[in-house]
Amino acid sequence: MLVIPSTLKIYNASAGSGKTTFLVINYLYVLLKSPYPDEFKRVLALTFTKKASEEMKNRILQCIKEFSNKKVKKEYRFLFDYIIKNFNLTKHQLYQRSEKILFTILHDFYYFSRNISTIDKFTYNIIRSLFSEREVHLEMDTDQFLLKIVENILYRLKNSEKWSNVLIQSSLEKLKEGKNWDLKKELFKIAHIMIEENHFFSVKKIKNYSLEDFVLLKNILIKRTKIFENKCKKKGEKFFQFLEKTSIQKHSFIHLDLPRFFQKFKNGNIFFNPFNERLEKYIQKGIFYSKFFSDKNQKILIKKNQNKILFLYEEIKSIYQKNISNYLLDKLFLRKINILSIIHEIEKEFYSIKNEKKIILNTELNKILYEKIVKGVFPKIYEKIGIQYKYYFIDEFQDISFLQWQNLRILVENALSENGSAMIVGDPKQSIYRWRGGDAKQFINLIYSKSNFYKKKIKTIEKNFRSFEEIVKFNNLLYQSISKTFNSTIYQDIYKNYQQKIYKKKSGGYVEINLTNDCNKNYKEHIYLCIKNKIEKLLKQKYALSDIAILVRNNEEGHFLSEKLVGDGISVNTSVSLLIKNHLEIQIIINFLNIIAYPYCYQKRVILIFLLLKNKFFRTKKNDHDFIMKILFLPLNLFLKKILLKNSLTLNKLYNKSIYNISEDIIEAFGLLNNKNSIYIYSFLDFVYRYMKKIGNSIIDFLDYWELKKEKESIVISDHINAIRIMTIHKSKGLQFPVVLIPFTDWNIYSKNKEEVWIDVNPHLYNGLNSIYLEIETYFKYIKDDRNIRNFYENYLSNIKFDNINLLYVATTRSIEQLILFSKIGNDKSVSFYIKNFLCEKKMWNEKKCKYFFGKEEKSS
């Protein structure tokens, strides 16, 4: 455990292994072994979140403060004894050194606080040192910045003849595919891609492409796909010409599979795999008609021409398999090429606004620093850092992005080459942020890669200090079972070697798995009733509400459970349920603002009417449909008179008012404010005020901004109230609770949402581009003769599966005393399948049984 100079120490710290304590001990070792009381100035500790860095600072300070007292509190006695034993210090030496270190830290607190930081803050400080205070400031609101870019781009493009043609063409192509197309939304997505780290290297190449480059490439792709389509059509036609020539009837073929197959080629319907296993099986066996087929003449004709039929089939099969991978890539890229062609214009606008406002986006910090390092232009501060820091601690390494590690690696290797030390702590099983750059493989590669500059010491922290015995044993067995299902040997090994030891003081514990076959409409209600019953049982076991956490996959699940629990009088503390967008009063205000901003959008009027009718803000004796049709198309002023309880709000009164004052008028006109909802109303008004202060007074811009921010604006409740916690699994990472309930443990391993990615291609085929942007399609799995695409798709599926198993792992390792899972029995694409598979392996599975448990259901003492 002790630090060895010139050694990179890598620790695999599974959930509950006391990672923070471990880091604190090693940090204290550096301080206490040094003769200098200001040694903390030469230590840099980097964490992933602000909360983690604050926790580490507090723990270190508290420890040093306790050690400097002659009477150490009971809770710190273990650490005190451990340090004396392992650091070869006497009690007196520990008192003295701790006292000097504490005095020095308090007098130089800036250095201590700065040197235990998040990676993002550390990177920002480096970049900030390159500019003067007046030159640049950090912009945290990336969405608002990109929205401004999109608005400027739309204005310029719509007034440009050449770009208008591109946009119209894009719209028409989307309509042909039967898809709605929101240009603003598409541009915003592309703008986001430009700044996200996951897209950095691919965007770097493509953003230099001009419109002319894209037009040239588009014409190449269209020509290439047409050639292949025409070739396939001719081969399809050739088959039917052959049938006509030989007098063979289509209905003679078994199941009509063969004629249907060639008909697809004749019609050009080749985008989806036209082959099927049944046809291939019959072809291989030379079966062309059913044994019950009675037309002897047709049988004779088919037998006579069997070789020719086989030749036509194999010929078209060969052409298809040889060209289909490139064809699909071309077609998929063509869907994106029009909108991508605007990326150069976005890039210009991006730098124009940045230079004008003198800002740096928070999301581009790692890229800025990386590009300077790659170019060999090392910031001078790097030299200072290299001299200043001798010891490095990096936490949550599995969440660090490629660019973050490349930027840090130089400093770490420099320290190691100069007899310093570095410690990296991580857990690839808790890697759940791949979508924002975190990659568990980076941690694995670090373990297995070789270096000429330093030695490595790799160790697993095996003991689980968090969970009770039955929970640790259950997780050990479950993930050993799941490890066998991975195709990737890397992912297999990560879970295969997962085996935690039980802390001797943590005997007992309870795990319960509830499975149901009920997959009908009442499934969610069924799960809720199970949750409610379980909560009542836990309260009888003397657990407090605040001891219980419900972990959900997404906000929708959390909101459903929150509403149900609150409706049944159970206190809930959750950011999921307290999103202000979910409350009726806020929805009415937003819809009213939409009507003012878009007076001729009758769809928005309908939404508002239904909100008001459903919640009895006004009543009508007439048929609702007739009432709606009567008022829907009235001039806006008359429409408002019909829907308002009071006629105090008119368009004239709203003109020239601020959004804040208009919102207040809407609240008053509809009588929205009451004792129950005041916190939501005032939170919304605060949001409006912050928007106006920062951005302006345009209602249309405000509504766009609301769409970007509404998923994050929530009421904050104190953690100290006695209420059940409901949170997403992502937000639960790093936390622990006496009891954890996981409802809906049946999410899909392979997301149904089509992910958009970059795929490597031959640059000679794509006008110099070495990667193209497209949607992942399920039919990639049918491309068996292109190893590149097949491997790409298999790796993609493997990564998605790993992400979702990691999510399950994070969820099942949060509990201290009790872990309760609720799920329906799913197919092999559901996480519940792996739970069922585990029960089968343990010979516990029974079709008639819906409840399985490990340990005793009682409150641990």
User: Would you call 293 exposed, middle or buried from its count of C-beta atoms within 10 A (0-12, 13-18, 19+)?
Assistant: middle
Q: Which residues of 454-490 are buried (b: 16+ CB within 10 A; e: fewer)?
A: bebeeebbebbbbbbbbbbbbbbebbbbbbebbebee
User: How many Å apart are CA 314 and CA 131, to the nearest integer?
Assistant: 66
Averaged pLDDT score across all residues of the chain: 87
Least confident of 223-227, 496-500, 686-690: 496-500
Least confident of 294-298, 558-562, 602-606, 784-788: 784-788
Residues in the chain: 861
The pLDDT of residue 390 is above 50: yes
pLDDT at 665: 87
User: How many Å apart are CA 744 and CA 749, to the nearest integer?
Assistant: 13
- pLDDT mean over 387-407: 92
Residue with tokens 């599975």: 845
pLDDT at 5: 47
- pLDDT mean over 825-832: 87
pLDDT band at 2, cuts 50/70/90? very low
**What is the distance in angstroms between the CA of the first residue and the CA of the last residue of the chain?**
32
Q: Helix, strand, or coil here: 347?
A: helix
pLDDT at 726: 93
User: How many Å apart are CA 421 and CA 414, to the nearest integer?
Assistant: 10
- The dihedral region occupied by 616, where left means phi > 0, alpha psi between -120 and 50, and beta the remainder, is left
User: How many Å apart are CA 793 and CA 754, to the nearest integer?
Assistant: 13
| pTM value surpassing 0.95 | no
pLDDT at 578: 72
More confident residue, 847 or 157: 847
pLDDT at 577: 62
Q: What are the Cα distances from residue 384, in Å, to 44, 47, 129?
A: 13, 21, 11
pLDDT at 107: 92
pLDDT at 179: 64
Of the candidates 793, 761, 759, the residue with the CA atom closest to the CA atom of residue 777: 793
pLDDT at 3: 45
Helix (H) or strand (E) holding 514: strand 510-516
Residues 323-354: pLDDT tens digits? Answer: 888 898 999 999 889 888 888 888 889 989 98
- pLDDT mean over 116-139: 81
- pLDDT mean over 423-432: 92
Least confident of 478-482, 641-645, 696-700: 641-645
Share of the chain above pLDDT 90, in %: 40
More confident residue, 63 or 168: 63
pLDDT band at 234, cuts 50/70/90? very high
pLDDT at 106: 92
Least confident of 50-54, 611-615, 646-650: 646-650
- Determine contact, residues 645/617, Cβ cutoff 8 Å: yes
